[in-house]
Amino acid sequence: MTDPVSDVQLPGLQRLRRSMLGSEWVRAACGSGRLLVTARHGIMNDPLSSVQLIDVLRSGLQRLRRSVCGKAMLFRPLHFSFAATPRLRRQSRVNYFEPLRKSIAFPHIDGHSPKRNPKPHIGARSPKLIILAAAIFLTSCGGYPTGTVVFVTNERAGTISVIDAQKDTVIDTIQTGGRPRGIRLSADGARAYVAISAPFNDQQASGFDKIIVVDTTTGNIERSIDVGTDPEQLAVDRTENFLYVSNEDAGTATVVDLETGEAVAVLVTGIEPEGVAISPDDRWVYVMAETSSTVTVIDTSTHTVARTFLVGERPRDAAFSPDGRRAYISSELGHDLSVVEIPSHTVISLVPLGLNDTERPVGVVVSPDARTIYVANGRGDSVSVIDVETLQMYNTIPVGSRVWGIGLTGDGRKLYAANGLSNDISVIDTATGKVIKTIPAGDGPWGVAVRRSE
């Protein structure tokens, strides 16, 4: 039998990959907007059902989705073409994501008997049946959509869920390994910096502590940077010259020169530093230490500690106002939000966020128009909405279980909330204050970063 890979001429053929799957193999070739995949399964005296055959394709595609074209692919199925011999062919238009058996029936494959037994292919080993399947897909070899894309780290799964904000559906899952938590984007949105530590279920494991750099147009991991032990949160300056990382177990913050990948400073912070935020002008970095309830202020011009000040009990995260004149710091056990004046780094107000112990503020974001602050309330399963001018909380929006990281679209119209125990993402319409969709994610959604429209 002829091999469809060699028979089909694809324009702009770029790469041919092969993935061994035991007795199964899958090959793919990617060209200009078209992808050809073939799967072969050799078996002894055992008919292969169409569903099994699709499983072969599916497992192969899972392995190939990142290697073909060097980019993540968005599969939109066109059709499947199956053949056991030149005389045994059947084509059927099927949806790859729908039940397949009812859509496909093949002689000898689905238990039907042909009127005539076709002659075995020359060179085939009898009684070994070789089934060759070809699937042609339309694919986006250019990577993710150019519009708004949301990236959510899943700390227990060791993955990042990629969401198309136009459709609010998961379009890819990036395998990171370890325990991904903090995630920040470069100023141009082209790269995501992700903090990785030891796996959630084996936190004594070694060799995982790093920051990975992900291409936000393809999902490819471009780089890995050593940043000291147990990194949890991070910040990157607008020019991508320096990276600032909290090292929770060491009680330090590491400053890394991104050009060389080397640490240029390791600074002592409060006890168990977690949250890290950088001011819009790149002048100050705040590092929140949960056990000492302090904020360490790093002067980015000298990479030294400029000041340390107290805030509410167990600070988790901070967000700066767009003009850089204020910072808002959540206190998980203080159940409040500290309002900090800059450049004096002085707490000028406290905003109460809950009337009971379940409201535990964690993630914080400020709207692009600087009028609204949103605070994720952890095990309170809600997001608080605060008016910047009055510093009054005027709404509480119910979301999923143990909401942690939150992120806004560029126009401020939608907010994405990562729910760590219900394993989903709540999409909030900020105009109505209502959840408009819930998106399944990986195990343990944690951090949220929103790449705005290109």
Q: Is the pLDDT of residue 53 over 70?
A: no
Of 114, 139, 164, the position where a domain reaches its end is 139
pLDDT value at position 50?
42
d(CA 15, CA 5): 12
Write down the residue that tokens 């390791």 correspond to.
266
Considering the domain architecture, whether residues 155 and 43 belong to the same structural domain is answered as no
Which helix (H) or strand (E) segment is 43 a member of? strand 34-44
Considering the domain architecture, whether residues 167 and 207 belong to the same structural domain is answered as yes
Would you say residue 277 lies in a domain? yes
Determine the average pLDDT of the residues in 220-246: 97
Question: Minimal CA–CA distance to 361: which of 343, 388, 339, 382?
Answer: 382
pLDDT value at position 354?
74
Give the pair of three-digit tokens for residue 433: 């204050």
Those residues whose C-beta lies under 8 Å from the C-beta of residue 402, and which sit 6 or more positions away, are: 378, 379, 381, 419, 420, 421, 422
Determine the average pLDDT of the residues in 424-449: 98
Provide, for the chain, the percentages of residues in helix, strand and coil under a 3-state DSSP scheme, each rounded to the nearest 5: 5, 50, 45
Considering the domain architecture, whether residues 71 and 193 belong to the same structural domain is answered as no
In tens, the pLDDT along 111-167 reads 444 444 444 444 444 433 333 333 333 334 458 999 999 999 999 999 999 999 999
HSE at residue 109, side-chain half, CA atoms within 13 A, is: 23
Would you say residue 282 lies in a domain? yes
Considering the domain architecture, whether residues 79 and 217 belong to the same structural domain is answered as no
Res. 453 pLDDT band, cuts 50 70 90: confident
Q: Order the strands of the 169-175 sheet from edge to edge.
A: 169-175, 159-164, 149-154, 445-451
Tell me if 66 sits within 8 A of 17, measured CB to CB: no
Considering the domain architecture, whether residues 194 and 82 belong to the same structural domain is answered as no
- DSSP letter string, 247-277: ETTTTEEEEEETTTTEEEEEEE-SSSEEEEE
- Record the pTM: 0.72
Of 89, 104, 139, the position where a domain reaches its end is 139
Would you say residue 363 lies in a domain? yes
The CATH code of the domain that includes 413 is 2.130.10.10
Would you say residue 201 lies in a domain? yes
Considering the domain architecture, whether residues 333 and 424 belong to the same structural domain is answered as yes
pLDDT value at position 87?
35
Considering the domain architecture, whether residues 336 and 399 belong to the same structural domain is answered as yes
Would you say residue 144 lies in a domain? no
Q: How far is CA 63 from CA 25, 141, 342, in A?
A: 11, 16, 49
In tens, the pLDDT along 350-388 reads 999 876 778 899 999 999 999 999 999 999 999 999 999
Considering the domain architecture, whether residues 266 and 292 belong to the same structural domain is answered as yes
Considering the domain architecture, whether residues 105 and 181 belong to the same structural domain is answered as no
Which helix (H) or strand (E) segment is 4 a member of? helix 4-7
Considering the domain architecture, whether residues 197 and 337 belong to the same structural domain is answered as yes
Considering the domain architecture, whether residues 126 and 158 belong to the same structural domain is answered as no
Considering the domain architecture, whether residues 24 and 105 belong to the same structural domain is answered as yes
Residue 282 DSSP label: S
Q: Out of 77-91, 107-121, 218-232, 425-439, which region has the weakest mean confidence (pLDDT)? A: 77-91
Would you say residue 306 lies in a domain? yes
Contacts of 342-348 with CB under 8 Å at 24 or more apart are 342/279, 342/284, 343/283, 343/284, 345/284, 345/295, 345/297, 345/306, 345/307, 345/309, 346/309, 347/309, 347/310, 347/311
Between 359 and 60, name the one with better pLDDT: 359
Structural domain total, the chain: 2
Q: How far is CA 85 from CA 39, 122, 127, in A?
A: 15, 10, 14
In tens, the pLDDT along 189-230 reads 999 999 999 998 887 888 899 999 999 999 999 999 999 999
Q: Is the pLDDT of residue 86 over 70?
A: no
Question: Minimal CA–CA distance to 273: which of 258, 261, 286?
Answer: 286
Would you say residue 274 lies in a domain? yes
Q: Is the pLDDT of residue 85 over 90?
A: no
Residue 275 structural domain: 149-451
Hey, what amino acid is at 173?
Answer: T
Hey, what amino acid is at 382?
Answer: S
Give the pair of three-digit tokens for residue 129: 């049946």
d(CA 17, CA 23): 17
Of 139, 168, 190, the position where a domain reaches its end is 139
Would you say residue 71 lies in a domain? yes
Question: Minimal CA–CA distance to 41: which of 129, 117, 124?
Answer: 129
Write down the residue that tokens 């302090």 correspond to.
294
